[in-house]
Amino acid sequence: MIEVRGITKSFGTMLALDDVSFGIGRGEILGFLGPNGAGKSTTMKIITTFLAPDSGSVTVDGIDVLEKPLDVRGKIGYLPENVPLYLDMNVHEYLTFVGRARGLEGVALRDRLDWCVEACGLVTEYMKNIGELSKGFRQRTGLAQALIHDPEILILDEPTSGLDPLQIIGIRDLIKSLAGSKTIIFSTHILQEVAPVTDRVVIINEGRIIADGKVDSLSREAMGGVRLYVGLSQDSETVESSLRSLAEVSEVKPLPVENGCRFELLGPFTTDLTRSVVDLARNQGWDLTELHEAPFNLEETFISLTKRADDGRKGVA
């Protein structure tokens, strides 16, 4: 649906994007991750035709953003990072304005207004001036604006920034409810926000894509293996050394626990670590109380990936 191929963009002497490529299929949700200033917004501005890349190309549903920007804009609903609101209008006037500017009128416009106001939870604020709305409602008004023309593609730049936890869940649920029917790219620098919504992420740092894929496989790859938690009801000196003796285990870390003992094991993800531990426990007659693989969370992955990317670049230099 969206193909980004080798785009580069610089502002003055600052290189904002350096050979960025990724793609997203129809109906897919993509979490676009990266620290502040990594180039997330710039990439989104290029996809939405607000900015043009210095080199490289972007196609949306097969249409080049530079050749036919108006056709591309018609397909996209866009929520920029700074929510674009006219503070002197009320929610109704504002959404009507955006709807009309996007070519809706009459019954079609009314139907979309009703749907957006309902879906974005704006019913109570509908006739209020946008200048009087709280941050959360402003964000929702911005989201309603992006949805007004029922676009095939949604591009949301930090849709949950500055919201309280309940509002974040609200926006998240809304995005999830649109899954399947729309192609969605949303950016965030808060990693925990991605997992509940999607498992496909693209991670960008200092203008370069450093990872692209499913969260699970990215984590395994980034951390170089799997992590296992093992708990036993009995405590014994020999347990730790037995675990260490396993060929597949690269690291054993004892963890504090009230009864018995508990360990964190690390091993390469190519081996079946769980199997080996189960076999060992059977042979030794251990009473296992806990045994599960713990996926690495996004923070750990992210830190490891950015560090690796930095090291890589220094190595080249």
Partner 1 sequence: MSGTITIFRREFAAYFNSPIAYIFIIAFLVLNTGLFMTGFFLAGNADLRSFFGNLPIFLIFFIPAVSMRLWAEDKRLGTFELLMTLPLKASQVMLGKYFAALAFYLVALAGTLPLPIMIATLGNPDMGALWSGYFGSALLGALYLGIGTFTSGLMRDQISAVILGIMACFMIFVVGIPGVAATVDGWLPGFGSFLQNYVGLSSHFEMMLRGVVSLGDLTYFLGMTALFLTLNALWLEGRKY
Which positions touch partner 1 (CB under 8 A)?
Answer: 45, 48-52, 54, 70-71, 73-74, 76, 78, 80, 82-89, 97-98, 100-103, 145
As a whole number of Å, the CA-based R_g of the chain is 24
Return the number of the residue (67 or 287) whose C-beta is nearest partner 1: 67
Task: Report the distance separating Cα 207 and Cα 39, nearest Å.
Answer: 5
Return the number of the residue (153 or 202) whose C-beta is nearest partner 1: 153
- Residue 114 has which token pair? 């009703």
Q: Nearest approach, Cβ of 62 to partner 1 (angstroms)?
A: 17
| Residue 274: Cβ-neighbour burial (10 angstroms; 0-12, 13-18, 19+) | middle
Return the number of the residue (6 or 80) whose C-beta is nearest partner 1: 80
User: Please, what is the end-to-end C-alpha distance for the chain in angstroms?
Assistant: 36
Q: Are 16 and 27 in contact (CB under 8 A)?
A: no
Q: Nearest approach, Cβ of 84 to partner 1 (angstroms)?
A: 4
Q: Nearest approach, Cβ of 168 to partner 1 (angstroms)?
A: 21
Task: Report the distance separating Cα 244 and Cα 236, nearest Å.
Answer: 14
Return the number of the residue (51 or 168) whose C-beta is nearest partner 1: 51
Q: What are 232's strand-pairing partners?
A: 261, 288
Return the number of the residue (83 or 218) whose C-beta is nearest partner 1: 83
If we measure between CA atoms, which residue out of 139, 127, 118 comes closest to residue 89? Answer: 127
Q: Nearest approach, Cβ of 313 to partner 1 (angstroms)?
A: 28
Q: Is 50 helix (H, G, I), strand (E, B) or coil?
A: coil
Return the number of the residue (23 or 74) whose C-beta is nearest partner 1: 74
Return the number of the residue (45 or 172) whose C-beta is nearest partner 1: 45
- Residue 128 has which token pair? 């209020």
Residue 140 Cα to chain centre, angstroms: 19
Q: Nearest approach, Cβ of 78 to partner 1 (angstroms)?
A: 5
Q: Are 2 and 59 in contact (CB under 8 A)?
A: yes
Q: Nearest approach, Cβ of 254 to partner 1 (angstroms)?
A: 53
Q: Are 31 and 70 in contact (CB under 8 A)?
A: no
Q: Nearest approach, Cβ of 131 to partner 1 (angstroms)?
A: 10
Task: Report the distance separating Cα 5 and Cα 244, nearest Å.
Answer: 47
